[in-house]
A and B are shown apart, each in its own frame.
Chain A
């Protein structure tokens, strides 16, 4: 018996313990993907405020390198040229761009600010993440595409992790022997079956080509999510946004990587894309002015993306604070005019139907934004907008 046959043979018994949530609904469950850009993405380089006449004064070299080819959005904003998929999603009304947002962090330390972004509290709690509290309230399943559990998914709810490793993959024969060895051990045999199922869901390409490129991780993430008993939410992360120097070239690469990741996530999700919201956030923005090494330093306000088939997109949201010296935060940063958590809260309210009380538990310090974020035909409870 090879591994596939064996899986088929035990398949019937898997349903019992794997489908607690799935059995309740035949309809598709709303999916959420939480993508953290670690290292502080320069929001002004991602979403260029070309209509702001002060922009060039602060960072002429950074702007002129990309402004011609930038994808025009509304309100005088434009997306970086290396984000063609995001531009396409915007035109298809599946992308919301929110300008001048902050994570609520007042620190300029990357990891402190990431802790705050992930925990969702003003003072980070490294043992309780906002996504954990949200998925616990939803009574859903979650997946972290990571080596360990990131703060976002730490807490009372138990999350699954998955990440490609550097080991030689074991073969079917050993698995069969282990299954028999674990026959008296409920926990281990359950885990083995579940682990083999995950491997089976991932395509041969995922298995063979195990380089940790973001697009591949995003693709595997989408594949695992669209499976019948797949998780309701998943977390992805992409590092390398700390562009103190050589920003034009480095962000060209990073944005291409991000864009390719969104393409493969969307492809892998197939029809589930229509029920999906992807939240793309970073811990803080960067200085408005370019520094001496054609980069930018740690700042405050950045940009937030909400995208997916479930998003009522095609708009640029968020009040624009302006880039005059007097309008800058501490005279150097883009002043945030809204908090990421208010937008994420709105997603949780409209997409997952969390109650106000549950939302208050997820983000006690920030109420949800009133704007419509989710397409109304997807909202079961249309009264949420009052």
Chain B
């Protein structure tokens, strides 16, 4: 296949693999579109200063203590509870603090993507954050969930998959979300004394969703063996002063040698589970599963088989080096077909629109400070998929009628509140598509009543909705 000119490839690099051009990104990409992508393969330079996992634990402990105090207090009569807002009660600071933290963390994540000079890297972060999906299903998870992406996913984005896997599984958000914190080996000290047992949720989802995939050829016995190896992988208790976060509890760990997928593992402590995760990460079925999903995320719901084959082969050769696998994807011609096969998700749509408008970080209007609410309205609340499988990747989940109406309303509002942008609609369109813009879109924009309407039409055009 003849190589396209750099202009076409740059449009693809910026829109398909990035998050739409911000500023003069397209010009930069046009010099060498593929290199423009590989240069972004660094862990996102996230400003994580606002919050840490340790602080999250602190906040949650305070909150819980407060709730306990309230419950223990003698029952007051009904009328004194008039301002009651659930267990948080009136004026309970910790719950409010947690809500503020939660909002700030979500907002930060979105603004990072909007401002990023490495949009491709942010797309990869979105992918793996969703691959290891945790949802804000409890007050504790409201603050822990965003930290998983920050602490465990981002640092390993272009490194070995096994390192990311282990960091994710040890992260408190995952251990809490998939119920591993209380999982106890029946033959462990605690298991024998208190008749407690295993919880297989985490082990099952690791095999089904994180590594081998549902058709990856594992048995119920494998789930149990992995669950036994992971028993005792827990989190610190609020009163633990020395340690915050992941804690390995020996007295809950099932002793003994294990067998996973036919491979024997010696009796061991935390290393036993770590070794299993390492082997799972390197497994060819895992490579195939993750590569296929990655190609679906970036290129097409039905990705080219040759592309997935090449990526999977690289996975095996490098024991799952994500950077090497992604380089194969970038180098492959199937990734650069002109047809736009992916319908943007709400998140991609919203972020790429705001990038195109060159929204500035300093004091965004009220409308934009509520981005997380808008994404919820569009069905893709951050950390809100409600499923360990994360949000679906395929187009059909995002291109429904109500979804389109919401995009129209949102776009119509955002072009109004961002009126201070000094670029005209046509200028914005050439920064996104150079000369590749569809004739119908150009015509619609030129005929628009106002430039504001022209911008709305641009963002709602098939060119911009698909990538």
Write the residues of chain A forming the contact surface with B, with a CB cutoff of 8 angstroms: 109-112, 126-127, 147-151, 154, 158, 160-163, 165-170, 173-175, 177-178, 180-185, 187-188, 191-192, 194-196, 198-199, 242, 244-246, 248-250, 291-294
Contact = CB atoms under 8 A, between A and B. Distances in A.
Nearest to B200: A123
Contacts of B81: 245-246, 249, 293-294
Interface string B385-413: 11111000000110111111110111011
29 contacts: A126-B388, A126-B389, A148-B386, A151-B386, A158-B396, A160-B402, A161-B379, A162-B402, A167-B413, A168-B412, A170-B412, A173-B453, A174-B457, A177-B448, A177-B457, A178-B457, A181-B460, A191-B399, A191-B401, A191-B404, A192-B405, A195-B401, A195-B408, A196-B405, A244-B71, A245-B81, A249-B78, A250-B84, A292-B74
B378 to A, nearest CB: 8
B75 A292 contact: yes
B402 A163 contact: yes
A294 B78 contact: yes
B461 A181 contact: yes
Interface stretch (B109-117, B323-331, B369-377): B369-377
Contacts of B419: none
A198 B402 contact: yes
B406 A245 contact: no
B86 A242 contact: yes
Q: Which 6 A-B pairs have the closest CB atoms?
A: A167-B409, A126-B387, A148-B379, A194-B401, A195-B401, A195-B405
B72 A173 contact: no
A245 B84 contact: yes
B429 interface: no
A187 B399 contact: yes
A293 B71 contact: yes
Given A242-B86, A244-B87, A245-B71, 13 more contacts: A160-B400, A165-B409, A165-B410, A166-B373, A167-B374, A170-B409, A174-B453, A177-B448, A194-B401, A198-B402, A249-B81, A249-B82, A292-B74
Nearest to B449: A173
B370 A166 contact: yes
Given A177-B457, A187-B399, A192 B377 contact: no
Contacts of A109: 179
B380 interface: yes
B441 interface: yes
A292 B71 contact: yes
B211 interface: no
Contact of A195 (B73, B402, B416): B402
A188 B75 CA distance: 58
Contacts of A174: 408, 412, 453, 456-457
A12 B330 CA distance: 47
A110 B396 CA distance: 30
Output the residue of A149, A199, A293, A294 with the most chain B CB within 10 A: A293
Interface in B347-394: 370, 373-374, 376-381, 384-389
Contacts of B380: 148
Contact of A184 (B78, B377, B440, B456): B440
B460 A178 contact: yes
B137 interface: yes
A60 B453 CA distance: 63
Given A126-B389, A177-B444, A166 B74 contact: no
A293 B416 CA distance: 49
B462 interface: yes
A121 to B, nearest CB: 13
B399 A163 contact: no
A366 to B, nearest CB: 22
A327 B396 CA distance: 50
B23 to A, nearest CB: 26
A276 to B, nearest CB: 22
A293 B70 contact: yes
B300 interface: no
Contact of B376 (A111, A147, A167, A169): A147
B465 interface: yes
A276 B238 CA distance: 50
Contacts of B389: 126-127
Contact of A126 (B386, B397, B457, B460): B386
B258 to A, nearest CB: 23
Contact of A294 (B75, B376, B386, B388): B75
Nearest to A168: B413
A245 B67 CA distance: 11
Contact of A191 (B70, B373, B379, B400): B400
Nearest to B74: A292
Of A180, A188, A199, most buried by chain B (CB within 10 Å of CB) is: A188
A173 B452 CA distance: 13
Given A291-B71, A293-B70, A198 B377 contact: no
Interface string B65-99: 00000111111101001101011000000000000
